[in-house]
Structure 1
Amino acid sequence: MRKINFSAGPSTLPLEILEHARNELCDYQGKGYSIMEISHRSKVFEEIHFGAMKRAKEIYGLDDDYEVLFLHGGASLQFAMIPMNLSLGGICEYANTGVWTSKAIKEAQILGVDVKVVASSEDDKFNHIPNIDFSDHADYAYICSNNTIYGTQFKDYPKTKSPLIVDASSDFFSKKVDFSNIALFYGGIQKNAGISGLSCVFIRKDMIERSRQKKLTSMLKYAIHVENQSLYNTPPTFAIYIFDLETKWILKQGGLDQIYDRNLKKAIMLYDCIDSSEGFYQGHAYKKDRSLMNVSFSINKDLDPIFVQEAEKEGLIGLKGHRILGGIRASIYNAITLEQVQILCEFMKEFRRKYQ
């Protein structure tokens, strides 16, 4: 019996994708070999590689102003690649809304970039999205759209004349995005779009020109990867294969409108369960900034671990909160169904009846 996996990442995959990959694992499309065994420069793999790029842009409705990159190093390498490639010697502005923006700020500072933190919710344990006022003349403005640990999410992105950089690792492919002022949009894909080992980057062409002027080692230079269509070196081929299956699955579901509608219904159900518990469950994030992807809450220090243990016995796994915040966290990414969230809510109601 499969468990219901609420892990924050790597996270659950749609069952039909797992079954599809299983069926092709040893014999890809009847060709007599696994997709993991063939050259990344073969026509067979290139169909997957370029097809995934095309569908990724289609999902977000992007035109030729953007290039798609498949890169190693997950989202964390982008913390360094972004200032390396896009800083111009001026100020780079960051909104600090969680652990991942804190790490991105640190990496930029290590590189000697002039970093300005224009807003932060750190003093309140990152329980809300602060008011942000980016300047019009920064080299770039940086946000993380969804904060996995603390359960906050931007409902709308800041409007700024400075190029906007968005780390969307935790809500990648979960809703439509207004790219009108986005210069670079990226995410590690192991939450909503595949397995670990791959990051997907959408980069606007004027940012590629910035990169082209930089004196950087080849593997850390966006322009090199664009010129080589993400095939400068051997890419993580199986991760790209799974990503390709994910893009097909999303389009099959009806695209991001249907995905978002489903995600909203799941989140409303789970937050209603928390809010109607008369204080037994306490959500971490301000209601106006609650994430549709990661629901962080607590009971008390005595009951939190008991909740996790008893949930595991019922086949509900991955609910232990991040070590920094503690408590409980349910990640309800695209592959989690409304019925599975309902099962979690029924468990929560029974747990409350038992221990209140």
Structure 2
Amino acid sequence: MKTYNFSAGPGVMPEEVITTIKQEFENNERSHMSIVEISHRSKKFQNIIISAEQKLRQLMQIPDDYAVVFLQGGGSMQFEMMPLNFATQHQNIAVLDSGNFSKKAEEAARQIGKNTTILASTKDQHYQKLPTLPSNFDASAFDYLHIVTNSTIEGAAFHQANLPQTSGRLIADMSSNILAEPYNVSDFDAIFAGGQKNLGPAGVTVAIIKKSWLAEQDLTGVGPMMRYQNHIDKQSMYNTSPVFSVYALDLVLSWVIEQGGVAEMHRQNLEKSGKLYAYLDQSDFYTAPVEKTARSLTNIVFTTGNLERDKAIAQQAEAAGLFNLAGHRSVGGFRASLYNAQPAAAVDALIAFLQKVEQNA
């Protein structure tokens, strides 16, 4: 029986990449030893990390005046690094609260002594639509505006076409939809993304930083590990890098390029998500509650309206080879994560299962 993994993260990886890792794990042709044994200071690994940066720059069309660094600590570490490095003038951060992870970023910044202002929130609407900038928003009073482009838990997304328009600095958490759809990097002053969704396994985090903005900051009192410039200066090897995760990320980036790049990933993701949303929208049994213009392409949230029934159906799905469909514990229902590596056949299998459940209800 063919099985499919709908986990929100760590998520599905390309089968070709998994095969390569298996083949190279014991004796990597580039290092003549296991990838988990090589030094992050070795020339072999330096070539891998340089390759990964070049491929990411190519895929995202990252301008030369932006630095790219590979870090540890996940997106949650960036909730603190970004404020420490960039909320230095006003000590004040504006946030659009579109879900769990934007709220966590706001809380983390506040706990390390930064002022935070939630400009708008859709919490009262269960995050089923996107918050919008107030008409009287004064960007000059804040160091930057923080957004999450894709709310992994709640299933709402800022796409390139509906990004908030601000005259100030903009930081984006792209953890769950980086490389899944095109964004103009120049519209942001900093971007970060945990690796365990569309970039590879857990353990590596990407940060894309506008160099000129970083150069303006007074980082007095900021520890060395929390300074982006130290990681930039050492080509992401200021301390021991997550060697295996960067190696796997490099393989995933090669795979994305081979598929046709971000444009092709976007086309496939529109097709996969569109097919699932179309089924859910015509169903009298399931509901996809997120406002259509705000719907995520990568994390499709839906429910029967009965959370206990949803749990039982998610358990039935595992017997059918469809794993990790249960929604986040804070939301319930279902969540089908359709990352780049998720094949179209997974969506077909999911729809066939959901139809069968609906017919027998």
Measured against the shorter chain, the TM-score band is over 0.9
Amino acid at match of 1:147: S
Between the two proteins, the alignment pairs up a number of residues equal to: 354
3-state secondary structure, aligned to 1:28: coil
Please list, as runs of the form range in 1=range in 2, the aligned pairs for 1:237-316 lying within 5 A after superposition: 237-278=243-284, 280-299=285-304, 300-316=306-322
Displacement of 1:206 in angstroms is 1.9
3-state secondary structure, aligned to 1:55: helix
C-alpha distance after superposition, 1:72-110 (max 9, x if no partner): 100000001111110124131110111101110001111
Q: Which runs of 5+ in 1 are unaligned?
A: none
Is contact 1:185–1:203 with CA below 8 Å preserved after alignment? yes
Displacement of 1:119 in angstroms is 1.1
Which residue of 1 is the match for residue 223 of structure 2?
217
C-alpha distance after superposition, 1:316-342 (max 9, x if no partner): 001011000011110011011112101
Which residue of 2 is the match for residue 126 of structure 1?
127
Give the distance between the partners of 1:35 and 1:330, measured in 2 at CA: 32
3-state secondary structure, aligned to 2:359: helix
Give the distance between the partners of 2:65 and 2:169, measured in 1 at CA: 14
Please list, as runs of the form range in 1=range in 2, the aligned pairs for 1:109-124 lying within 5 A after superposition: 109-124=110-125
Match of 2:206 among 200, 203, 208: 200
The answer to which of 15-24 and 157-166 deviates more is 157-166
Is contact 2:88–2:217 with CA below 8 Å preserved after alignment? no
Is contact 1:119–1:130 with CA below 8 Å preserved after alignment? yes
Displacement of 1:2 in angstroms is 5.3
Aligned-pair RMSD on alpha carbons?
A: 1.3
3-state secondary structure, aligned to 1:308: helix
Match of 2:177 among 153, 171, 181: 171
Fraction of identical pairs, as percent: 35
Which residue of 1 is the match for residue 107 of structure 2?
106
TM-score (norm 1): 0.97
Give the distance between the partners of 2:156 and 2:274, measured in 1 at CA: 14
Which residue of 2 is the match for residue 19 of structure 1?
19
Give the distance between the partners of 2:169 and 2:19, measured in 1 at CA: 41
Is contact 1:97–1:129 with CA below 8 Å preserved after alignment? yes
3-state secondary structure, aligned to 2:336: strand
Amino acid at match of 1:108: A
Q: 1:234 to 1:212 in 2, by over 3 A?
A: farther
Match of 1:184 among 187, 190, 194: 190
Give the distance between the partners of 1:81 and 1:346, measured in 2 at CA: 44
Q: Which runs of 5+ in 2 are unaligned?
A: none
Displacement of 1:53 in angstroms is 0.8
C-alpha distance after superposition, 1:263-304 (max 9, x if no partner): 0000110001111112x1011311221110101111113421
Give the distance between the partners of 1:333 and 1:31, measured in 2 at CA: 30
Which residue of 2 is the match for residue 149 of structure 1?
153
Displacement of 1:219 in angstroms is 0.6
Give the distance between the partners of 1:31 and 1:221, measured in 2 at CA: 31
Give the distance between the partners of 1:281 and 1:107, measured in 2 at CA: 36
Is contact 1:87–1:140 with CA below 8 Å preserved after alignment? yes
Give the distance between the partners of 1:197 and 1:31, measured in 2 at CA: 21
* Deviation >4 Å, runs of 4+: none
Give the distance between the partners of 1:301 and 1:63, measured in 2 at CA: 46
Give the distance between the partners of 1:89 and 1:222, measured in 2 at CA: 17
Displacement of 1:123 in angstroms is 1.1
Amino acid at match of 1:290: R
3-state secondary structure, aligned to 1:143: strand
3-state secondary structure, aligned to 2:179: coil
Amino acid at match of 2:247: Y
Confirm whether residue 346 of structure 1 aligns to residue 340 of structure 2: no
TM-score (norm 2): 0.95
Give the distance between the partners of 1:311 and 1:109, measured in 2 at CA: 41
